[in-house]
């Protein structure tokens, strides 16, 4: 056999593209091995590793001029995942010494994996998108590293074979060995991964803050918590994901793809079935938050996709870093252009931020004196730009918890009870916006939809007008108040926005009311 083709794949963003590994041996010419098809340095360096692994596996490759082509030639190939398909192709060229492959085996399956020098197959990033691509391309099976088999097994409609070493892969293609396809009870596996270790009932006191978090979650609103250190802002934020609607399977697969490409999935945690919670430190770079480097990988805004992005100590983040979030907050995606191409990562997340009221943290605290000057407080606030603040619907104060509340026996309702109300409210919104595929929650309503779905009676109109004038609200706060009021009415199961809904929505505009200066 002078020519063989092995099907594999290359990652491009959070998706994968098919790659055909063509291996050709010529009868005459200089004895050398050429690798073409736009491979990067890591792929070029794989040749010595692959040849050593073949030799150490008691297998042979042809003593002839060999050309390996990674097609299509205009797609840059990166990473070590082509080791195993290249090795399989070289071994297939010597059927007399290595054994004949089963007829049609290479045409029916895809092969992905990195090789160690002794022939062991090591796990690689992005197995889930690579498996999805192989299935889409019509392959009936995929051979992957054993450690990646559980992750690949999530995909229905394709046989997944996990191999420990090159010899096992070759034996499988010869129709030998005892390797069985990965069997996964998807429903049971999905349910087993849904559990959270934390719960809303862990938090003592802060009833009004919990209410604000429920409102924010029900309507998909971004939220900012303001309060002195030690009042439980981080503790509350960490539990926010537990009251979001349960992830659907498509959402879980989409989220797992992102984490897989970022290398955050392993054999112990091969599936992301709970809402992600990401809390980057305020020293994070633009590329770390948005995604980037020369070979772009997902940043924190994409790792929080379908979950929560928590920014603690919001004013401590670099202003330029915060500004890069405006696109993902607006569009739900991040687009990064590099020499290697243009990459788009999904980034639909709920933004939750926390900050102290002033640099020392004790402005408004009844027990500790604030030592900050008005100028220091103003500079501290100005670190957060107006455009970013414009995308945050709720501002809620988080005061210190009273000792009696801390000693109380119960923290109130558990996450499951709150989540049921949130899911009911999301169902109402799903029906309301059925004809608008880009709008899923009240927070995403356009001005036109706000006018349509947030009508006020005479009393409500007068109340909002008075609030706008007396509290000096900006025009941007007007629509924010109506969106939150719409969510509050949905939580109560009413079509009409009542006065109490408007009043509660107005109280969530702490920064607009200038109560902290």
Quick: pLDDT tens for 269-311.
778 889 999 999 999 988 889 887 667 789 999 999 999 999 9
CATH class of 445-517: mainly alpha
404 contact partners, CB below 8 Å, separation of at least 6? none
Report, at the CATH architecture level, how domain 3-184 is classified: 2-Layer Sandwich (3.30)
pLDDT surpasses 60 at 406: yes
For residues 78 and 110, the answer to whether their CB atoms sit within 8 Å is: no
Q: Please state the separation of Cα 315 from the chain's center in Å.
A: 24
Which tops the pLDDT comparison, 229 or 22?
22
Q: Does this model's pTM top 0.95?
A: no
pLDDT surpasses 50 at 508: yes
- For 325-352, what is the mean pLDDT? 85
Domain residue limits, the chain: 3-184, 200-436, 445-517
- For 441-456, what is the mean pLDDT? 93
Question: Residue 156 burial by CB count (10 A; 0-12/13-18/19+): exposed, middle or buried?
Answer: exposed
End-to-end CA distance of the chain: 80
- What CATH code would you report for 200-436? 3.40.50.300
For residues 194 and 220, the answer to whether their CB atoms sit within 8 Å is: no
Q: What is the DSSP letter of 476?
A: H
43 contact partners, CB below 8 Å, separation of at least 6? 35, 70, 77, 78, 79, 80, 82
* pLDDT tens digits, one per residue of 385-399: 877 887 899 999 998
């Amino acid at each position: 056999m002078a020519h063989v083709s092995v099907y594999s794949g290359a990652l491009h963003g959070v998706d994968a593209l098919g790659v055909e590994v063509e291996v050709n041996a010529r009868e005459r010419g200089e004895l050398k091995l050429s690798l073409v098809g736009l491979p990067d340095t890591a792929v070029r360096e794989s040749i010595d590793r692959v040849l050593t692994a073949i030799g150490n596996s008691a297998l042979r490759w042809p003593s002839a001029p060999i050309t390996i082509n990674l097609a299509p030639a205009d797609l840059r190939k990166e990473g070590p995942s082509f080791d195993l398909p290249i090795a399989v192709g070289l071994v297939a060229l010597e059927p007399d010494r290595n054994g004949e492959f089963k007829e049609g085996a290479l045409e029916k399956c895809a092969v992905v994996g990195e090789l160690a020098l002794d022939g062991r197959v090591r796990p690689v990033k992005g197995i889930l998108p690579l498996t999805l691509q192989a299935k889409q391309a019509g392959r009936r099976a995929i051979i992957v590293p054993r450690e990646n088999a559980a992750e690949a097994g999530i995909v229905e409609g394709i046989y997944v074979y996990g191999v420990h070493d090159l010899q096992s892969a070759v034996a499988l293609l010869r129709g030998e060995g005892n390797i069985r396809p990965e069997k996964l009870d998807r429903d049971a596996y999905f349910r087993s991964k849904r559990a959270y270790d934390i719960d809303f009932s862990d938090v003592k006191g802060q009833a009004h803050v919990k209410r604000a978090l429920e409102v924010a979650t029900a309507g998909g609103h971004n939220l900012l918590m303001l309060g002195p250190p030690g009042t439980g802002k981080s503790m509350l934020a960490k539990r926010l994901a537990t009251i979001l609607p349960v992830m659907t399977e498509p959402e879980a697969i989409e989220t797992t793809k992102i984490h897989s490409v970022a290398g955050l999935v392993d054999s112990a945690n091969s599936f992301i079935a709970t809402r992600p919670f990401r809390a980057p430190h305020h020293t994070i770079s633009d590329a770390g938050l948005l995604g980037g480097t020369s070979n772009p990988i997902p940043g924190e805004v994409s790792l929080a996709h379908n979950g929560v992005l928590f920014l603690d100590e919001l004013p401590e983040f670099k202003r330029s870093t915060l500004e890069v979030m405006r696109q993902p907050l607006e569009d739900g995606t991040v687009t990064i252009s590099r020499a290697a191409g243009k990459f788009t990562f999904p980034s639909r997340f709920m933004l939750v931020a926390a900050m102290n009221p002033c640099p020392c943290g004790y402005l408004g605290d009844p027990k500790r004196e604030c030592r900050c000057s008005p100028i220091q407080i103003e500079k501290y606030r100005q670190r957060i730009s107006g455009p970013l603040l414009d995308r945050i619907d709720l501002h809620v104060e988080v005061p210190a918890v009273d000792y009696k509340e801390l000693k109380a026996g119960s923290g109130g309702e558990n996450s499951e009870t709150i989540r049921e109300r949130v899911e009911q409210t999301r169902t109402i919104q799903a029906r309301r916006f059925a004809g608008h595929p880009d709008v899923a929650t009240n927070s995403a309503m356009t001005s036109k939809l706000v006018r349509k779905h947030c009508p006020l009676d005479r009393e409500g109109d007068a109340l909002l007008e008075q609030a706008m004038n007396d509290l000096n609200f900006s025009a941007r706060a007007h629509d924010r108040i109506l969106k939150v009021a719409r969510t509050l009415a949905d939580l109560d199961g009413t079509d009409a926005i009542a006065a109490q809904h408007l009043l509660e929505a107005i109280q969530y505009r702490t920064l607009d009311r200038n109560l902290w200066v």
